[in-house]
Structures are given as structure tokens and as C-alpha cells.
Amino acid sequence: MSSTSQKHKEFVAEPMGEKPVNALAGIGEVLGKKLEEKGFDKAYVVLGQFLVLKKDEELFKDWLKDTCGANAKQQRDCYGCLKEWCDAFL
Amino acid sequence: GRPWSNPEAQEDPAHLSKSRLRSDLVSHNVELPPAGSKKEVYLKLHLEHVDQGNAAGFSSDEDDQVLYAPGGDRVDTKIPDPTALSDKDLKDLLLKYGVKAGPIVASTRAVYEKKLRKLLQSDGNEGLNEAETAVLYSDSDEEGEENGDLEDEKESEEEKERINEALELNQKQCNEHLQEPVKNILKDLIPEAKTTPTGIYVTPRRPIKGAAQRPILYGYPDTPVSPTTLERRDVERRLVPIYVQILVFFIVLYILYFISINV
């Protein structure tokens, strides 16, 4: 079994639809609020940013850190979550 | 003559060492930035204050003065300011460093600028030989930078070669690294394998979950499923183990009760 969290599994199991941004793995209340303030109020908006950065790991993690102050683990979780979602549905 | 046909004055400030820049500034009565400043800061000041007086001073080629306009459009200078670049120029410059950037839009601009800065810094700080020049280019080391001056000139020529080589090397290394884990995985999978004459011994495989008559208890669905279906699956998955646990619990209770009665 992989070391992904329950949140990750739930997110990658289905299309994200209108899920809020804190449905993303690695994004809790605090980070979610910061992202919402910057206009990233839904998970799909963060997905948009992920895609526009061409799914590049380093760039996305940097962006996440700069935008909401995510630490390395949170960056990793969020990136992994979105990447797997894209692999399944995009 | 100079190794590359660059229509610049003989002493392009970007190619001067930091201590040289500093002494130039002093000789032009320009106030120095704080001691720990990077070469960029000295260079900027140099461009602003010193190069305006260049007509009288340095270059023997008077035609070349045009190029000292600050923030010029010389993309081949080592230290352009990422913020001042156009979207297209930023993208092109990143491409030069082997970074295939995506669209430079409002939300991505900052990240790409940051990346370019990192690349420019590391390019300015490292030379041909990273080990050597790491020492030579350190801000605190004055003596080393005199030598670094010469390294600078050779650098831009071989820079491109170096980048290509590095990319090739990187690819080779990736291939090598890929091979190793594959060999090791086999050993890891079968740690208890006895060695036979052929060296291969495999134990029979456990039945695959999801094969006939072994329903998948948990797994990522291939197609999108409605939330209710997932909830139901979730509940089903959990019921069985808990049910067994409760049963075992009562059995144990009964046994203990039975024992305590008979004591």
C-alpha cells in the first residue's frame, strides 16, 4: 500500500467537480484560507495553475510555497494529489 | 584579438571581477554598497555611474559606447533583470538554460522569474569547474576573484557547450540509475530465494486480488463513480473486519466468564 493519506485517496477517486480547495491533500484550513484569499477558491483553480505550469513538480511546489507558505510535506502531498488526479482523469 | 566577436568595449563591466568593479567605483567617487553585496549590485552601480564617463576613459573603440545603456536589451549579458524582460524574452532566456517554460501569464510570471534568477545566480557563481570556482567566486574571498576575472572570459563561450554536456550527462546518469533499481527490485521481491543451479528460484505467487472469485475489496475505480456507490463500498469494506473483531471479543469474554465460574 502506498503512503498516501485518506484525503489523497478520496480526492483522486473521482472528478473534483466543485470541491473546495481544502479538499486537496496537503491543504488544510489555514492554507486553504490563504489560497482562497488569493482567488484560488476551488480545487479546479489550483488545478488550472498546476496545468499552466505544465505539471512541473519544482515550479508548482515553488508556486505553492510562494502563494500560501506551504511547507515541503504539504507541497509534496498537494503535488502528488493533483498529479495522480490528472493521470486518472485528464 | 578577443575570442568572440562581440561589439563591446574591451572591458565589459559584466565581465569584471567584483573587486575591480569596486575599485572602479571608488576611483569615480561613487559610494560603495554594503560590504556583503553581490556582484550584481556593484555592476549596477558601475553601469550607472562609471560607464557614462566611458567616452573619455577606457575603450579604444569609440563606436562601442552605445551598449552601456542600463537595462539594455542584450540578452547575452549574464545578469539581465528578469523583472525587466518581456514575457517572450523571459521564455527565450529560460529556454537557453534548458527550461521549457509554459505560458508566461500573470500567475506564472513570478515563478518563472524566480527560476531564472536562480539559474543566473548559479551560472554567475559557478565556472567551468564547479569545485574550483565555488571557492573563487565566493563573496568573501577577495584574492580569488582576481583569478575569477580570467575565468569569466572563457566562460560564456564554453557555457553553451557545458550546458549541452551537462544535459547529456544527466540523461546518461538517469539511464544508469534506472538500470540499478531494476536489478535490486528483483532481489528485494524474492529475498528468500534459494540459489539453484541456474540461480533463479521463485515461489508461487499469491492469488491476485481482483481475479475471478476474488472481489476487489479496495482499489481506485477506473471510471468515475457516484459518491453513493463509493460510500457503499466504503461501508462494505469496513464491516467485515469490525464484525469479526466484535465476534472474537465476545468469544473471549465468554471464555473468561466460563473460566471464572468454574474456578
Residue A75: which CATH number? 1.10.150.40
Helix segments in chain B, DSSP class H: 18-27, 39-45, 87-96, 106-125, 130-136, 142-189, 227-262
Which positions in chain A touch B111 (Cβ < 8 Å)?
Answer: 53, 59, 62-63, 66
Cβ–Cβ < 8 Å for B220, A13: yes
Structural domain contains residue A29: yes
Structural domain contains residue A1: no
Which positions in chain A touch B101 (Cβ < 8 Å)?
Answer: 54
What integer pLDDT is reported at residue B49 of this predicted model?
A: 77
Query: Does the beta carbon of A54 lie under 8 angstroms from any beta carbon of chain B?
Result: yes
Q: How many residues are given for chain B?
A: 263
Query: Does the beta carbon of B108 lie under 8 angstroms from any beta carbon of chain A?
Result: yes
Structural domain contains residue A52: yes
Q: Tell me if A54 and B112 make a contact (CB, 8 A cut-off).
A: no
User: Which has the higher per-residue pLDDT, B224 or B245?
Assistant: B245
Q: Is the model's pLDDT at B250 over the cut of 80? A: yes
Q: Which of A26-30, B45-49, B70-74, B259-263 has the lowest mean pLDDT?
A: B70-74
Average pLDDT over residues B114-119: 91
Owning domain of residue A78: 6-89
Q: Tell me if B111 and A66 make a contact (CB, 8 A cut-off).
A: yes
Give A29→chain B minimum CA distance, Å: 22
Count of domains forming chain A = 1
Task: Select the residue from B111, B222, B229, B231 to test the A interface by mutation, using most A Cβ atoms within 10 A.
Answer: B111
| ipTM entry | 0.84
pTM of the predicted protein model: 0.42
Give the bridge partners for A42, in sequence order: A20
Q: What is the pLDDT of residues B133-181, one digit of tens each?
A: 555 555 544 554 444 455 555 555 566 666 666 666 666 665 655 555 5
Interatomic CA distance for residues B117 and B81, integer angstroms:
8
